[in-house]
Amino acid sequence: MAWVDLGLNLIERFVSPAIMVATARYFLVDAAGREQRFYSSFSPRMNHGDAAIVKVQRWLQTHQVEILTVAAMSSHANLSERTFLRRFESATGMPPTEYIQHLRVDKARAELEFSRLAIQEIAWKVGYKDPSSFRKVFQRVVGLTPGDYRRRFNVAGSK
């Protein structure tokens, strides 16, 4: 779809922004362009070679809705907290809390796409006790609010 973005940018530059918006509406295209992060799911790095961290990553896949602490994760890896934090960020490219947020948001995206559950229920189901903090994290990670994401990508018939 890059040709659509190019065409709209050329219309905006050489004709006018108003004509560009009208053209985008005519072709049913978002005039602001498309962000790829709406479409990409979280794919954690698992081939980094640190067996202790891979063990924790696999454990997090099944325990992500629980209240997770660095102490619990480091204990699962049989490492001190400081060593665990250093090795986890080195292996995955992000701190454990951010990693867990990405796992939870990815699970929430699937729920928003394929279920009719209320957003508050989804927040609780993926491990957030406060729907407001869930919305903030979701918007930071995905770039859309959970409601906007559901309106755009839901296939379960619930808008």
Tens-digit pLDDT profile for residues 40-97: 678 888 999 999 999 999 999 999 888 889 999 999 999 999 999 999 999 999 999 9
Helix (H, G, I), strand (E, B) or coil at 120: helix
CA neighbor of 134 nearest in space, from 154, 157, 117: 117
Contact call for residues 91 and 50 (beta carbons, < 8 A):
yes
At residue 30 the predicted structure's pLDDT band, cuts being 50, 70 and 90, is confident
- Note the pLDDT of residue 43: 84
Q: CA torsion 83→85→87→89, rounded to 10°?
A: -160
Structural domains of the chain, with CATH: 2-34 (no CATH), 41-159 (1.10.10.60)
Separation CA 141–CA 105 (nearest Å): 8
Please write the tens of the pLDDT for every residue from 121-130: 999 999 999 9
pLDDT level of residue 159 (50, 70, 90 thresholds): very low
CA separation, residue 69 to residues 89, 98, 122, 127 (Å): 15, 12, 21, 13
What is the spatial distance between Cα 83 and Cα 60, in angstroms, rounded to a whole number? 18
Average pLDDT over residues 19-33: 79
